[in-house]
Amino acid sequence: AAVLIEAHSGRVLYEKNAHEPLPPASVTKVFTLVVALEALRDGRVALDDLVTVSRRAAGMGGTQVYLQVGEQMTLRDLLYGIAVESANDAAVAVAEHLAGSEEAFAQLMNERARAIGARNTNLSNASGLPPADIGMPGRTHVTSAYDIAVVSRYGYTLPMFEELVSTYGPYRVRVGTRAEREFWNRNRLLRFYEGANGIKTGYTQEAGYCLAASAVRGNLHLIAVVLGAPTREDRDEDIRTLLNWGFSQYQAQEVVRADEELARIRVSKGVADAVPIVPERPLHVAVPRGGWVEVQKELRLPDRVLAPIERGQAVGELIIRLDGQELDRVPLVVGGDVPRGR
């Protein structure tokens, strides 16, 4: 199975069996990271939190940090263990820290996946190991190429996600001790593909060779996913083919600049009567190379805002549509400070 999407809008540029539920191996850890980073964003956990390793986490096979029962490691180090080293023990330790058990964490993963738009995802664990191999006989662990792409796209909106999945290495833990380890990423595209900035490799005998990859060139951000390739070389070549085709056929058309004034709204009880409204970030759409499209812009804004207001404060959103289909939306923010008037 394979899919190629344009990350800003989520538009599918190529697909093959993209919605077929398949075992994803360690690409599962994209979902693991998303749930953990949402907790970080929302202040429910902190990077310096110490996570105590359980017997179950320490007993995970496959790729691992070789955590010991009762060992404590920071959430930061474990997140790098998940993203860079693809460590199964780190994934389970984080899952238990956040949800109490891996089973409860898997339920969170499935709930968040559905909310993000993944419709063919049913995960049973945080690592991606076959359920029967880790004491979960009869459990299902599948997702689709499209679901992985959609959840990865969302991941890039979360703090630290890009930093984690684009790290090639080395990342060191237990520095200065006899148990010091270096993490290195198995995603060779991070070294050898122009613009690569993620995401996650995976392999089990059941799943075959899997890879979710991301690259950015000239404001065009593409995400490609391949599941079930027969060899690592085939998997990497398929990903390169998808990305190369995407970059050769499409370019990014700027729709709005980050500092572009799109409207002015009235201010009540402020030292100024009105304030400019700008998008929180620039907005681009993918168009065929040499082409140009006319998009529809819908601004959703209140009639007025109440002072005091600060630059960057969100007050509405901009929705971009092409031929009636929504391509993207971005928060609209205040372009300047307006103190309260006397």
pLDDT tens-digit map of 13-57: 999 999 999 999 999 999 999 999 999 999 999 999 999 999 999
pLDDT at 298: 94
Cα 155 from Cα 162, distance rounded (Å): 8
**Residue 53 CA: distances (Å) to CA of 89, 94, 108, 200:** 9, 9, 20, 24
Query: Where in 167-219 does DSSP place strands (E)?
Result: 171-173, 181-183, 196-204, 208-217
Cα 211 from Cα 226, distance rounded (Å): 5
Distance between terminal CA atoms of the chain? 63
> Which residue in the block uniquely carries the two structure tokens 């995407």?
246
Percent of the chain with pLDDT strictly greater than 70: 100
Lookup: tokens for 192: 């050898």
Lookup: tokens for 2: 């394979």
Eight-class DSSP state of 235: H
Query: Where in 33-122 does DSSP place strands (E)?
Result: 50-52, 72-74
CA atoms within 13 A on the CB side of 166: 14
Sign of CA dihedral 79, 83, 86, 91: positive
pLDDT at 131: 97
**Residue 322 CA: distances (Å) to CA of 187, 287, 294, 319:** 35, 11, 7, 10
By three-state DSSP, how is residue 82 classified? helix
Q: Which residues are catalytic?
A: 26, 29, 86
Cα 98 from Cα 109, distance rounded (Å): 12
pLDDT at 342: 74
Cα 175 from Cα 123, distance rounded (Å): 34
**Residue 108 CA: distances (Å) to CA of 25, 95, 111, 187:** 18, 10, 5, 27
Lookup: tokens for 41: 């964003």
Cα 252 from Cα 246, distance rounded (Å): 11
Cα 249 from Cα 267, distance rounded (Å): 45
Q: Which of 3, 329, 326, 325 is nearest to 150 (CA)?
A: 3
Lookup: tokens for 7: 């990350």
Residue 174, Cβ density class (10 Å: 0-12 exposed, 13-18 middle, ≥19 buried): middle
CA atoms within 13 A on the CB side of 263: 19
pLDDT at 259: 86
Tally Cβ neighbours within 10 Å of residue 191: 10
pLDDT at 84: 98
In tens, the pLDDT along 127-178 reads 999 999 999 999 999 999 999 999 999 999 999 999 999 999 999 999 999 9
By three-state DSSP, how is residue 184 classified? coil
Query: Where in the chain does DSSP place strands (E)?
Result: 2-6, 11-16, 50-52, 72-74, 171-173, 181-183, 196-204, 208-217, 220-229, 250-256, 263-268, 274-279, 283-288, 296-300, 304-306, 314-322, 325-334
What residue type is assigned to position 288 of the chain? P
Eight-class DSSP state of 54: P
- Listed as ranges, residues in the chain with pLDDT below 50 are none
Q: Are 303 and 265 in contact (CB under 8 A)?
A: yes
Cα 187 from Cα 209, distance rounded (Å): 12
